[in-house]
Structure 1
């Protein structure tokens, strides 16, 4: 953020002289009241010396107000976030800089930055006199356990006189945004059940392996190998056409996040919904690092990144770092939806191509479990993490073993690798159980440090 303008006390600042007198401190108001009282008593008692004292007490705060109000100088303020995107529970540092761009030195400045209460207390600093052309730099730390997008600013400056009689405040208009993204947990490299060999790392499909009618030619360029001339297209377009170079096609993955309010119980950083959001972020980043083209899909049918027209798959033309940033920014502000069904997400998946599907689901009834079972594409791998929300709120796992196992069985019969998630289970612990070489587990309970593991 950067901003500049006439500083506190500029003669034509908004509010006029009335706002300047409203800046009188308790000391200034006391002096003014004492002076008026002394002057009144001097008239009643006929004491000339008391009148002089009263005038001195009353004039001093008035002179301080006039001096501050008529003093003209300009300052510029800037803010820098390091970093601007931070995981939940981690700290970010905010650097503030004040430059005196006028020809006059400033007085004592009190600097205050506005921050949301979830980021910590409002920072306040006292800056010494800044010489013409000089600068002062200060910094403070912010931290939030709640993901979200928070506005910082605008900066506020308060100017005081040497006697502490008056304070005038002005603020800049610019502000910055701190994005608190979900925690991303490092995941082990495994071969997911149903995944083709190569697990997506460098899997390429070459146009050279396609049939003659499937080749997409382009115009001839100087230096192209004449052995790549495509004569059929040359005859069709009337100009020399050549076959394109081999173009890699990245493996596709869809991360499905169930945000239905009816499927999640509880709130806060330790709730089941926050675990699902963090899990979706971790899976997306992990698969991007392995070379997948990843998109995020919610139960409402919204897809991030949006379609880009390349191969009909969202995000296939974006760099992994750009896609990861886009997904994390989206997950930073994702909230519960009002929907009660996963049918919108099913409609999106039904019209898509084969690819890996990783789903983070809340409570499922029989109808929703049947919809999820039909989401798996033929020949594609599908992994579902089903949260037992009742267990998260009651602290007992599993809360409803018969009903949950019946719905998990329905998913497994449709080809899903379905894992039941209880409270306190790290995603890395569950991710290992998706390894095709280890077999399909029935469920995964609390972490190994808990009293029971619940593995079968």
Structure 2
């Protein structure tokens, strides 16, 4: 990515401010006390500040490009990029130091002196050991003096974004099976246009003439129309707790996040309506990739709402939910899990997936609510098959 050169920022650093203020104070004290030594020190400091300012004078003209080989990787996959710095001035440019923020860290890159039109390539590696949304850039040049009194930065690019997705596992024949069991089930609600035929009734003004049953109409002499039963439309809601106290540590939370991502991706691949709600709110996504992008930025928070509140939020956000899967950790109590299951209306099939690190797969019930315990992401498919059995 290439960006137009942004205005330079000239900053007198904290050390520079200290030196400048010290020069003023020493000069004032020397005038008051008559100590010439203090005046000499003040002049020396002032001279150092003025000389340091010379090092940030002047302009450089570069064309800088940031190139990420990919914008999306899975946890643990390599993520590489490169920065191309080209001398766009009419003469040779002196060496310069470039800074490249990568997430919360800042890489310092030395660029050698460049002749006119010459390009310097710098390769860099982005750490992907943990799921995250990582901002890379903006690349900026930095000029300053040896004493650190002044610092001048110029921004050359806009930031790029790298999504580090959680690892997912295939769930064919497991979680979507819950939805398939419900899909197309007739309800007791009557409708004038659906696919589940219920009965015939007399025509009333406003009925769609496409649903007139002409044979019965001819036989009875009365206009008759089809009456249908509404069929249940499947909608999967995934409620993910992000409260710190609901988990024994980051590993449990990451398994819960990866489980939610696996469930959502599988549902999207099978073109099922899917909504994911975390402690921070509804994740806005309409595709599997969009879900993975959104869930990459989900973080634990001690102030986040717990599993019960997240389940209630999911029930409110997805009023047509047919299947709900609640994800939590070993810190969630049985009472909280029971309340979370009761947050959904009658008729909604609710399953709780509770992550307890390194535990064996187990299934128990809290009342009528099935609670599946998994100790690793690879246990998820087998555990969900056991619930269906």
TM-score bracket for this pair, using the shorter chain length: 0.5 to 0.7
Matched-pair contact (CA < 8 Å) for 2:239–2:310: no
Matched-pair contact (CA < 8 Å) for 2:175–2:263: no
Q: Shift of residue 86 of structure 1?
A: 2.9
* SS of residue paired to 1:435: helix
Between the aligned partners of 1:342 and 1:96, the Cα distance in structure 2 is: 47
Between the aligned partners of 1:275 and 1:123, the Cα distance in structure 2 is: 34
Between the aligned partners of 1:291 and 1:274, the Cα distance in structure 2 is: 25
1:383 match: 351
Q: Shift of residue 331 of structure 1?
A: 4.0
The correspondence of residues 56-67 of structure 1 with structure 2, limited to 5 A, is none
The correspondence of residues 24-423 of structure 1 with structure 2, limited to 5 A, is 72-116=59-103, 122-132=107-117, 134-157=118-141, 170-172=153-155, 174-192=157-175, 195=178, 197=180, 209=195, 251-267=234-250, 271-299=251-279, 302-305=281-284, 318=286, 320-321=287-288, 324-338=289-303, 339-340=305-306, 342-343=308-309, 345-346=311-312, 348-349=314-315, 352-362=319-329, 363-375=331-343, 377-388=345-356, 392=357, 397=359, 408-410=364-366, 413-414=368-369, 416=370, 418-422=371-375
Q: Shift of residue 189 of structure 1?
A: 0.6
TM-score (norm 2): 0.63
Pairing 1:430–2:380 present? yes
**1:169-216 deviation digits (Å, cap 9, x = unpaired):** 643164424344342222131144973547879xxxx95637999x99
Structure 2 unmatched ranges of 5 or more: 17-50, 145-149, 185-191, 198-202, 213-231
Change (3 A) 1:216 1:175: farther
Change (3 A) 1:355 1:428: farther
Specify which structure has the higher proportion of strand: 2
Structure 1 unmatched ranges of 5 or more: 23-61, 161-166, 218-226, 231-248, 306-314, 440-456
Change (3 A) 1:288 1:199: farther
Between the aligned partners of 1:194 and 1:87, the Cα distance in structure 2 is: 26
Change (3 A) 1:169 1:194: closer
**1:312-350 deviation digits (Å, cap 9, x = unpaired):** xxx6xx4x24xx324532442332253356145225416
* SS of residue paired to 1:349: helix
* SS of residue paired to 1:259: coil
Between the aligned partners of 1:365 and 1:437, the Cα distance in structure 2 is: 21
**1:43-98 deviation digits (Å, cap 9, x = unpaired):** xxxxxxxxxxxxxxxxxxx9xx97x8776542232323232233332222222122
Matched-pair contact (CA < 8 Å) for 2:174–2:381: no
Between the aligned partners of 2:167 and 2:76, the Cα distance in structure 1 is: 11
**Would you say how many aligned residue pairs link Structure 1 and Structure 2?**
314
**1:407-428 deviation digits (Å, cap 9, x = unpaired):** x3215x24x3x31123xx2x34
What is the aligned-residue RMSD (CA, Å)?
4.5
* SS of residue paired to 2:365: helix
Q: Shift of residue 254 of structure 1?
A: 0.9
* SS of residue paired to 1:106: coil
Change (3 A) 1:130 1:326: farther
Matched-pair contact (CA < 8 Å) for 1:78–1:98: yes
* SS of residue paired to 2:271: coil
**1:377-433 deviation digits (Å, cap 9, x = unpaired):** 544443321123xxx4xx7x47xx9xx97xx3215x24x3x31123xx2x3433133
Between the aligned partners of 2:321 and 2:128, the Cα distance in structure 1 is: 39
